[in-house]
A and B are shown apart, each in its own frame.
Chain A
Amino acid sequence: MSQTGSNKDVSEENLPSEQATAHEGAMGVPPRTKSLGEVADDPFADPGLPPHEPRVQDIDKRAAKRSERTVALLFTVSMLATVGFIASYVVLPIDKIVYVWPFGHISALNFALGLTLGLALFCIGAGAVHWARTLMSDEEHAQERHPIEAPPEVKAQVMADFKQGAEESGMGRRKLIRTTLFGALAMVPLSGVILLRDLGPLPEGKLRHTLWSKGKLLVNQNTNEPLRPEDVGVGSLTFAVPEGLEEDDHDFQKEVAKAALMIVRIQPEDIKDKRELDWSHEGIVAYSKICTHVGCPISLYEQQTHHVLCPCHQSTFDLSDGARVIFGPAGHALPQLRIGVNKDGYLEALGDFDEPVGPSFWERG
């Protein structure tokens, strides 16, 4: 009747080897199967819980003592690690960088605090688990389950109680009360909804307009100087914002999110789209930097192919062909800004974008 209890949780892939190695099991099993098979007609019947088998620690006092010492050692290491944590906190300057292979040039404080804290916690856990595994009883118990469903008599009682309660309330009879109550309960949350109105202003035409307007100079974002046509060479890439938009303006973020511009120069004979050529200045074209898909700043400009790729979702636009979409999830071309040169020789906008920049929306049309 000796049957190892250790193999019953193991999925059956492991069973052959388990059986092959557990020799006492291999010797023990066949007789029991046969005898039980003879007793019960059903060879597949549940043989019941196997008898409990002791661990080394259960029969060998010395082994149990060893386990005890291991657990205590783990708890002691945890204490030491906490001391180490406090010491690191006090001793190590916050900006000290050390080289630790293979982690690189890292903060000594972060590394020391993290490892000591980790060790202190881990050792508590490891000690507790080792204690449970080797010293606490590992005898398996079976506990009865009870059906979740209530027995019929309980259900009957509840139904009767409910019926009585409902009748006493008069809910079913007094329809006026019921209807008005439901009405009141349904309407009260409206106040909560209405209170959300001031979360923000209405969209109105805000998404249709940017800071660009006729005569606004194109200011180079690197230098904060207005751009001249001769500054922009073929193959170069420049980012511009409208003049007057300063980084510390209150609404800088909001405005630059719509007005950011990418400027490239393409040989006029390479421009395939007629409108693009018309709106350019001697091959200098100004496109919105905001992707028409979901609004990432799109500026991975390949100067040989004139493609721009969005780093977020890989929409690809052909800047030499009206910035039409040639790949990816964007739904329409990048808006182009009409530019010219003013009398002082600076590049200027000839108006706002003629369509909303950035992602599409229902009212865009």
Chain B
Amino acid sequence: MSTSSTNPAGGTDGRKAPAGERVADWADGRLGIYGLAKANMRKIFPDHWSFMLGEIALYSFIIIILTGVYLTLFFHPSMNEVEYHGSYVPMHGILMSEAYASTLDISFDVRGGLLIRQIHHWGAIVFLAAMLVHMMRVFFTGAFRKPREINWLFGFLLLVLGMFTGFTGYSLPDDLLSGTGVRFMEGAVLSVPIVGTYLSFFLFGGEFPGTDFVPRFFSIHVLLLPGIMLGLLVAHLILVFYHKHTQFPGAGKTNKNVVGMPLMPVYMAKAGGFFFLVFGVISAMAAIATINPIWALGPYRPDQVSTGAQPDWYMGFSEGLIRIMPGWEINLWGHTLVLGVFIPLMIFPLVLAAIAVYPFIESWVTGDKREHHILDRPRNAPTRTAFGAAWISLYWVLLIGGGNDLWATHFHMSINAITWFVRVGFFAVPVLTFIVTKRICLGLQRRDRDTVLHGRESGIIKRLPHGEFVEVHEPLGQEQLHALTQHHQYQPIEAGPVVDENGVERKRTMAEKLRAKLSQGYYGQDSQIPKPTVEEYQEITSGHGHH
């Protein structure tokens, strides 16, 4: 394109290169940007709305950082007690921490401060929601398979860190609601056997609440966690670029290519534009809906509380866990084991870990070492889909448990009944969901098979000469035939032979037996419908089609 880069004089042909080009040349000489651009400028990205869920998360993260920096200009992370004399009359003369007072100032005395606060908080709500939905998209389409397992873990860590960044963030204003949440956390930390009290005293600088937790949470919230997240995020994106995006099956799409539009210019405009769209939507949310009106909540005091005390939604499932747990407590040899709190505290990471380690379980069961760039349709992986649905159902049941008091008042039910429902549902609902989802997937597989073999129901009813009515089935185009049959179907593995080739009896390990069992459960005849073969298709279509 350009000759000047090879020409130090910059245009001996009498023409000076345009300014932009000269700047690019300068940068290339130092950063090697042309090499990077060559590989990436026309990088192809496939088009699908569900591929943009991660972008929503990415952009809301950027929005949170931008607004968060603004908030630090006005927020005082201090628990010194002050008497309030700002603009908000219903708090005049009330003793509160500087953190709370400065949050009131941001809301009532800094022009636009309230808007930025609300964008920041709504952004966090959307960020976490988008991460979860993005993760579900990756899960249900099997995009986590080789070579993307590590990136799946990066994403998972981002979700978990996001949760805790959110928690430390909404605790900063030191209002009555978040203070109650911090108190809950302190109680949970105290329940840890042996070291619980020490952890709590180190975390809070002594007895709860002390005067340290706001400044400590502040540095965790603005520095430590976002710093780690930023690193993970960059790694996550680099890997997305490096692996190239996955794509849904279809004509012309293979495991060895990626079909779509180039980064420059289409995705530059689409993805760049989408950032503004996300920012615009979140700003509009902040304009029309209040979030965390701390002025209505009052400053934190450990002897005050309000009903309806819940965490933000992403912590809601842990709230559900703690609410449904029976109050078990064991006193032995002068020590107390607070199972009623400690068990939920342990199940909380387990619920998350269950979904995080799933890719490794699946790849162990299949033993598949190939790279996968073509996405699965969820129905073609019934066990995985059922597992994911069961996980979501568990998450939902716990969310219901976490808001049991509000469901009780708004649906006129007994809080005790809801708690019991959730206690039973914790075990029953995921199992039921698993079974039902698997059935649905198999049903859809059967339908796909019928559609391939017999064509699509056209809705046209024809009367045959002898009076019978039949519906006309239209044969599928090759594109559809390909899309519906391109997936790979695994065969269940057998636990290796009991006797090896030399006739020596060998022991099958437990792991081997388990793997064979799981494989049978995944790919046995009850778990997938064989896809139509070419012979079947030709046999049916070779005659005069079908009736």
> Chain A residues in contact with chain B, CB under 8 A?
3, 7-9, 11-12, 15-16, 19-20, 25-26, 29-30, 32-33, 36-37, 41-50, 89, 94-95, 103, 107, 109-115, 117-129, 131-133, 136-145, 147-149, 196, 199-203, 206-207, 221, 239, 241, 247-248, 252-254, 256-258, 260, 289-290, 293-300, 311-315, 325, 327-332, 358-365
Which residues of B lie under 8 Å from residue A41 when comparing CB positions?
534
A114 contact from B266, B275, B287, Cβ within 8 A: B287
With A42-B534, A200-B206 as known contacts, state yes or no: A359 contacts B191, CB within 8 Å: yes
Smallest CB-CB separation from B339: which chain A residue?
A: A331
How far in angstroms is the closest Cβ of chain B from A30?
6
Q: Is the CB of A43 within 8 A of B287?
A: no
Smallest CB-CB separation from B192: which chain A residue?
A: A362
Which residues of A lie under 8 Å from residue B270 when comparing CB positions?
128-129, 132-133
How far in angstroms is the closest Cβ of chain B from A309?
8
How far in angstroms is the closest Cβ of chain B from A9?
6
- Given contacts A30-B475, A114-B115, A200-B205, 10 further A-B pairs with CB under 8 A are A44-B482, A94-B87, A129-B273, A148-B242, A149-B371, A200-B212, A241-B303, A294-B187, A328-B323, A331-B328
Give the CA-CA distance A25 to B474 in the complex, in Å. 13
B201 on the interface (CB 8 Å rule)? yes
Give the CA-CA distance A33 to B250 in the complex, in Å. 15
Give the CA-CA distance A299 to B302 in the complex, in Å. 13
Give the CA-CA distance A217 to B484 in the complex, in Å. 80
Closest 5 CB pairs of A and B: A114-B287, A294-B187, A122-B280, A331-B329, A128-B273
6 A/B residue pairs, CB under 8 Å, sorted by A? A32-B477, A49-B251, A200-B205, A327-B416, A329-B322, A329-B341
Which residues of B lie under 8 Å from residue A43 when comparing CB positions?
478, 481, 534, 537-538, 541
Contact with A along B508-537 (1 / 0, CB 8 A): 000000000000000000000000001001
> Chain B residues in contact with chain A, CB under 8 A?
42-44, 47-48, 81, 87, 95, 108-109, 111-112, 114-115, 118-119, 147, 180, 183-184, 186-188, 190-198, 200-212, 242-244, 248, 250-262, 265-267, 269-270, 272-284, 286-289, 300-309, 319, 322-329, 331, 334-341, 344, 371, 373, 377, 404-405, 415-416, 419, 448, 451, 456-459, 474-486, 534, 537-538, 541
Give the CA-CA distance A137 to B541 in the complex, in Å. 40
Q: Is the CB of B184 within 8 A of A296?
A: yes
Q: Is the CB of A295 within 8 A of B187?
A: yes
How far in angstroms is the closest Cβ of chain B from A64?
16
Which residues of A lie under 8 Å from residue B259 when comparing CB positions?
49, 140-143
Q: Is the CB of B477 within 8 A of A33?
A: yes
How far in angstroms is the closest Cβ of chain B from A48?
5
Give the CA-CA distance A196 to B405 in the complex, in Å. 40
Q: Is the CB of A313 within 8 A of B322?
A: yes
How far in angstroms is the closest Cβ of chain A from B315?
13
With A89-B112, A332-B329, A361-B191 as known contacts, state yes or no: A115 contacts B266, CB within 8 Å: no
With A125-B276, A329-B326, A359-B341 as known contacts, state yes or no: A311 contacts B478, CB within 8 Å: no
Which residues of B lie under 8 Å from residue A125 when comparing CB positions?
273-280
Q: Is the CB of A8 within 8 A of B250?
A: yes
How far in angstroms is the closest Cβ of chain A from B235?
15
Smallest CB-CB separation from B306: which chain A residue?
A: A311
Q: Is the CB of A44 within 8 A of B112?
A: no
Give the CA-CA distance A100 to B167 in the complex, in Å. 32
Smallest CB-CB separation from A312: which chain B residue?
A: B309
How far in angstroms is the closest Cβ of chain B from A327?
6
Give the CA-CA distance A16 to B288 in the complex, in Å. 41
Give the CA-CA distance A89 to B538 in the complex, in Å. 72
How far in angstroms is the closest Cβ of chain A from B168?
16
With A294-B186, A329-B325 as known contacts, state yes or no: A15 contacts B456, CB within 8 Å: yes
Give the CA-CA distance A311 to B513 in the complex, in Å. 49
Which residues of A lie under 8 Å from residue B415 when comparing CB positions?
314
Which residues of B lie under 8 Å from residue A111 when comparing CB positions?
287-288
Smallest CB-CB separation from B286: which chain A residue?
A: A114
Q: Is the CB of B475 within 8 A of A114?
A: no
Q: Is the CB of B301 within 8 A of A253?
A: yes
Q: Is the CB of B81 within 8 A of A248?
A: yes
With A361-B196, A362-B336 as known contacts, state yes or no: A12 contacts B451, CB within 8 Å: yes
Q: Is the CB of B309 within 8 A of A200?
A: no
Q: Is the CB of A113 within 8 A of B287?
A: yes
With A138-B261, A199-B205 as known contacts, state yes or no: A145 contacts B373, CB within 8 Å: yes
Which residues of A lie under 8 Å from residue B250 when comparing CB positions?
8-9
Which residue, B192, B277, B303, B416, has most C-beta atoms of chain A within 10 A? B303
Q: Is the CB of A207 within 8 A of B207?
A: yes
With A311-B309, A365-B331, A365-B335 as known contacts, state yes or no: A47 contacts B207, CB within 8 Å: no
Which residues of A lie under 8 Å from residue B205 when comparing CB positions?
199-200
Give the CA-CA distance A132 to B261 in the complex, in Å. 10
Give the CA-CA distance A295 to B322 in the complex, in Å. 13
Smallest CB-CB separation from B344: which chain A residue?
A: A329
Give the CA-CA distance A145 to B148 in the complex, in Å. 14
Give the CA-CA distance A43 to B538 in the complex, in Å. 8
Give the CA-CA distance A353 to B208 in the complex, in Å. 18
Which residues of A lie under 8 Å from residue B325 when comparing CB positions?
329
B265 contact from A8, A30, A136, A315, Cβ within 8 A: A136
Q: Is the CB of A363 within 8 A of B197?
A: yes
How far in angstroms is the closest Cβ of chain A from B255?
8
Q: Is the CB of B44 within 8 A of A142?
A: yes
With A3-B479, A113-B115 as known contacts, state yes or no: A359 contacts B338, CB within 8 Å: yes
B479 contact from A8, A26, A42, A327, Cβ within 8 A: A8
Q: Is the CB of B302 within 8 A of A253?
A: yes
Which residues of B lie under 8 Å from residue A8 when comparing CB positions?
250-251, 479, 483
Q: Is the CB of B273 within 8 A of A359?
A: no
Q: Is the CB of B277 within 8 A of A202?
A: no
Which residues of B lie under 8 Å from residue A138 when comparing CB positions?
261, 266
Q: Is the CB of A294 within 8 A of B188?
A: yes
Which residues of A lie under 8 Å from residue B187 when comparing CB positions?
293-295, 358-359
Give the CA-CA distance A30 to B329 in the complex, in Å. 71
With A124-B273, A330-B340 as known contacts, state yes or no: A19 contacts B456, CB within 8 Å: yes
Which residues of B lie under 8 Å from residue A248 when comparing CB positions?
81, 95
Which residues of A lie under 8 Å from residue B334 when comparing CB positions?
365
Give the CA-CA distance A32 to B323 in the complex, in Å. 62
Which residues of B lie under 8 Å from residue A325 when comparing CB positions?
327
Give the CA-CA distance A311 to B326 in the complex, in Å. 16
Give the CA-CA distance A36 to B479 in the complex, in Å. 11
A129 contact from B277, B306, B479, B481, Cβ within 8 A: B277
Q: Is the CB of B277 within 8 A of A126?
A: yes
Give the CA-CA distance A137 to B262 in the complex, in Å. 10
